[in-house]
């Protein structure tokens, strides 16, 4: 139950972070006159990294906070 809630939270925040990272990188790299394919690859790569980082952080912080509330740390 807890893990599924943490994953859902991570997916939610990770998705928001991925969209924002994509938009920022796409907008900034457009100024450098990259080819359209390279522009998409760079933006999608950054979005993927942001999604993974936020997903992992949400799960770890949620797991840590649940154990902290029980007095195990």
38 within a domain of the structure (yes/no): yes
71 within a domain of the structure (yes/no): no
CA distance 54 to 23: 17
Beta strands in 1-73 (DSSP E): none
How much is the pLDDT for 68? 78
Residue numbers of the domain that contains 54: 2-66
Give how many domains the chain has, as a whole number: 1
- Helix 36-69 and helix 2-30, axial crossing angle in degrees, nearest 10: 150
61 within a domain of the structure (yes/no): yes
62 within a domain of the structure (yes/no): yes
72 within a domain of the structure (yes/no): no
15 within a domain of the structure (yes/no): yes
On the question of pLDDT at 71 being above 80, the answer is no
pTM comes to 0.82
73 within a domain of the structure (yes/no): no
Q: For the chain, how many residues are written?
A: 73
CA distance 13 to 49: 13
On the question of pLDDT at 73 being above 80, the answer is no
């Amino acid at each position: 139950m807890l893990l599924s809630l943490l994953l859902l939270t991570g997916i939610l925040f990770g998705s928001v972070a991925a969209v924002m990272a994509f938009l920022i990188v796409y907008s900034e790299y457009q100024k450098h006159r990259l080819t359209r394919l390279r522009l998409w690859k760079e933006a999608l790569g950054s979005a993927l990294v942001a999604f993974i980082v936020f997903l992992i952080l949400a799960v770890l912080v949620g797991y840590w906070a649940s154990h902290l509330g029980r007095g195990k740390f």
